[in-house]
A and B are shown apart, each in its own frame.
Chain A
């Protein structure tokens, strides 16, 4: 097992390197842009050359990449000229807020989707199952912002139960001090993620229910509840766990939109602003972090998969 985890970690490092390289190359596809965006559209070629020289932008690309990697390893993601602060400190302030948003949504959606999927599977093709499938389908096909607007309209404007805006405190702790402001953003993201998981969970559970070993367990007199708990759950989770890894980019994109709608300051909002102003160190930094998080998510999912399924050979 340890060997397997180490090997998977090794693979993860290779993938992260690939991610940084691709992002780096894409953002450097148009040379000179950076200087122009910092100094302004009227920048003379000479000014640009001086700028490039100052920030090492005139050296060969591989050298720049190497410098970038070197800095990255030392925890330095570069400097945002627009915000006049290091990207690292920016991310350190914003990322935990996103982790709270995305993490809560992930956990909540699983906590709902797993039992609901099992219940739907057990009662498949009955009314409850049809309702569940219908709800899931509507949520699945709805754009994130539309869903967010519906929730805001319903819970903030019509009924005033929750605020329509995320807590505006600049610190992460401040965010948690006003949990009611978190409800709608988290709910939006949860519902979107849930829609995906519940469909999978339902079909995984239906597939598992049809397996011979379920019948074997029933033939030993095991009560239904225990059949579900001991035999169905773990086996259907095996196929869903892999999905969690794959769904992380979806959650991240969702976070980006939720941040916009609820004015929730986080890395997504920063990324959006950076994209508008060509603030490429910020874009690069966020992309790298997102890449790492995705790879880590998949790594965790794979390890979880190996833990759940004894047939996997390490």
Chain B
């Protein structure tokens, strides 16, 4: 008997005129000591499943049927009092956004002690002691001091630790973690996930881990449940799911993630369309409108969950993927891709990993031969994106650019609190026609650099050259003209479009500012909408009538309106679902070719940047730490920080993920108000030595344009005289599974 047994759960949310069937008859169980992963696109009912168990549904929400058996009682019918005694005591919950999930006016200590006081009937002091002990347990530095801190005094990662401490303070039997790391940086995500794993073991709890990230699923769950439109479409043990997936939706989800060794010349797979509206009556398979294998029976009869093999693997599909044949084909493909790419996930992965690699093309056409053509293009050399390889002229240059922000108190008499060193002495060149990727953790200065590029900020010192002219030395009216050639596309597709303007007006606005006659404007807007894949009907509609992906298309159309040579895209896809994400990335690539665009893509997601960028710059705390051609930086990172970032990315492959021996990097980025002396990364660097504290490392070359700023790099620097590379290095060994620092270089190892 499992700890939690959900049977035929149905959750409805009554709106004014309609009812959302958020969860529609799902059954599953969670045992003690086990992690169940819940994955699926946005709106498929993951959160509502968790909230149903907690009975914390939004207003209008109710459980319309089914049982939730937890530890000997049915929570579906329990009264409020019972639920209040279960919540926080028997079941803990961790939420997505640590920035908003803690009360800003109450100290951390009080908030953690509150459930202890409530459920354990202990004295204030005892509860506070428990809070302190919990903070120690979740790895909070200086826990006793932190008890008296308010949430705003902690970083996102530390806040999430505090929330975990609060959820676990009474040692619950079950923990529900709803996207606990989605709002965090990839390095911090790795820390939090491994903390959750640890604590689950320590407390012997059952855990439900809700996520949309297949990589997180691969590394941190025992079983997976794939949800689509309020239903379970497939569930299996994690390894089995990745190696023998049967449902087309599972496969499609995986295929739309750009993985690190994605072939850049191929379009990313994307699931067409959107999940169905859960307020309407759904007939047949809910995935049918988006499924490449749908037949008439799919549209008429809803498939029921059936067993696939043993060990509780279930799926609901009339035409499941025949994975035995696929697996063979994939194994064959793996051998090829290993020799071709000589790098990456596949090598260490073994069979399951290669299944992942195969999916992109597998989805597009079931026919085996078609897949083979896909592989053909994958291994074909050349045919690369414009600008890679060929030396084209510089379009944008940063010359020793520094940007500092004065930090002051609010209000009338502003008192100076310090200086935020957002960007410090950055020099780099973006070439015409290429895509330049800018990566780093949040707060590293990448957005500021992007804003400097489009003259939304003025540098404190140094220059920004656009087409070889210093844009900040230009007279005002000239600057205005130059600015038209520099467009920016924002992260949040919801807040960056004026809700009171029609889409047509939004796109035409820059044209009107330039002084185009109205007739000409309308024609151009129509053309732009067509180019970004939106119909003419979009013109007279308002932004709220569009989905996130469509709004990002509108943003792209607006950026394109003035036909700029350069577009800065600040986290263009991070607010989007994986399937929509690949649609936008494909579109961006297409437009680049047709318009001869240069992109500067800012993102914290290294796989996205990897897929789209020709050159990459890695930033840490305002400094450029590594720069070079994308392939070089990803395959032979020279800077320990780049390496740590790459290692922290969750790979959608259970073997690789679970073989990660340790967390890539401890701690969090220090404040930009007082960056560490010498190398700014030294406080978190596993290779740091005395010299790192006293001497600022300069960028040195690692062959070609690949440069990094580190005193003890992971690669041997290449001086012009001795261009030789260390011969002993075996590229195949540098997979994501082997996470020794400087593992393939004897010289570096002896240094430690």
Is A74 an interface residue when CB atoms closer than 8 A count as contact?
Answer: no
B88: A residues at CB distance < 8 A: 219-222
Is B410 an interface residue when CB atoms closer than 8 A count as contact?
Answer: yes
Is A253 an interface residue when CB atoms closer than 8 A count as contact?
Answer: no
Chain B, 67-106, contact with A by CB distance < 8 Å: what is the 0/1 string?
0000000000000000111111100110101001111111
Query: Chain B's nearest CB lies how many Å from the CB of A126?
Result: 11
A221: B residues at CB distance < 8 A: 83-89, 115, 118-119
Within 8 A of A (CB), among B140-182: 150, 152, 163, 166-167
Query: Chain B's nearest CB lies how many Å from the CB of A31?
Result: 35
Alpha-carbon distance between A224 and B731 when the two chains are bound, in angstroms: 59
Contact of B106 among A211, A230, A238, A312 (CB under 8 A): A230
Alpha-carbon distance between A223 and B84 when the two chains are bound, in angstroms: 7
Contact of B97 among A7, A212, A235 (CB under 8 A): A212
Is A310 an interface residue when CB atoms closer than 8 A count as contact?
Answer: yes
Contact of B166 among A215, A220, A308, A312 (CB under 8 A): A220
Is B340 an interface residue when CB atoms closer than 8 A count as contact?
Answer: no
**Taking A221-B88, A311-B152, A313-B409 as contacts, is the C-beta distance between A234 and B102 under 8 angstroms?**
no
* Contact of B103 with A235 in the complex, beta carbons under 8 Å: yes
**Taking A216-B95, A222-B118, A309-B104 as contacts, is the C-beta distance between A11 and B150 under 8 angstroms?**
no
Is B390 an interface residue when CB atoms closer than 8 A count as contact?
Answer: no
Chain B, 408-442, contact with A by CB distance < 8 Å: what is the 0/1 string?
01101101010000000000000000000000000
Closest to B50 in A: A219
Is B56 an interface residue when CB atoms closer than 8 A count as contact?
Answer: yes
Which of B103, B167, B415 has the most chain A CB within a 10 Å cutoff? B103
B95: A residues at CB distance < 8 A: 212, 215-216, 219
Query: Chain B's nearest CB lies how many Å from the CB of A120?
Result: 15
Query: Chain B's nearest CB lies how many Å from the CB of A12?
Result: 11
Closest to B166 in A: A220
* Contact of B97 with A310 in the complex, beta carbons under 8 Å: no
Closest to B408 in A: A313
Alpha-carbon distance between A153 and B356 when the two chains are bound, in angstroms: 82
Is B114 an interface residue when CB atoms closer than 8 A count as contact?
Answer: yes
Alpha-carbon distance between A11 and B413 when the two chains are bound, in angstroms: 8
Chain A, 1-44, contact with B by CB distance < 8 Å: what is the 0/1 string?
00000010011000000000000000000000000000000000
Alpha-carbon distance between A222 and B413 when the two chains are bound, in angstroms: 41
Contact of A219 among B93, B103, B150, B152 (CB under 8 A): B93
B93: A residues at CB distance < 8 A: 216, 219
**Taking A212-B97, A215-B56 as contacts, is the C-beta distance between A311 and B104 under 8 angstroms?**
yes
A308: B residues at CB distance < 8 A: 105
Q: How many residues of A contact B (CB 8 A)?
A: 27
Is A217 an interface residue when CB atoms closer than 8 A count as contact?
Answer: yes
**Taking A7-B413, A238-B105, A308-B105 as contacts, is the C-beta distance between A219 and B100 under 8 angstroms?**
no
Chain A, 145-157, contact with B by CB distance < 8 Å: what is the 0/1 string?
0000000000000
Which of A10, A221, A234, A313 has the most chain B CB within a 10 Å cutoff? A221
Contact of B100 among A212, A230, A234 (CB under 8 A): A212
Is B54 an interface residue when CB atoms closer than 8 A count as contact?
Answer: yes
B97: A residues at CB distance < 8 A: 212
A220: B residues at CB distance < 8 A: 87-88, 92, 114-115, 118, 166-167
Closest to B407 in A: A313
A218: B residues at CB distance < 8 A: 56, 87
B163: A residues at CB distance < 8 A: 216
* Contact of B409 with A222 in the complex, beta carbons under 8 Å: no
Query: Chain B's nearest CB lies how many Å from the CB of A14?
Result: 9
Is A213 an interface residue when CB atoms closer than 8 A count as contact?
Answer: yes
**Taking A231-B106, A235-B105 as contacts, is the C-beta distance between A211 and B100 under 8 angstroms?**
yes
- Name 4 extra pairs, CB < 8 A, besides A219-B92, A310-B105: A219-B88, A221-B119, A308-B105, A310-B104
**6 nearest CB pairs, A to B:** A220-B88, A221-B88, A221-B87, A220-B115, A212-B100, A310-B150
Residue pairs across A and B with Cβ atoms less than 8 A apart, 29 shown, are A7-B413, A11-B412, A11-B413, A212-B101, A213-B100, A213-B101, A213-B102, A215-B56, A217-B103, A219-B87, A219-B167, A220-B88, A220-B167, A221-B84, A221-B87, A221-B88, A221-B118, A221-B119, A222-B118, A230-B103, A230-B106, A234-B105, A235-B104, A238-B105, A309-B105, A310-B105, A310-B150, A311-B104, A312-B410
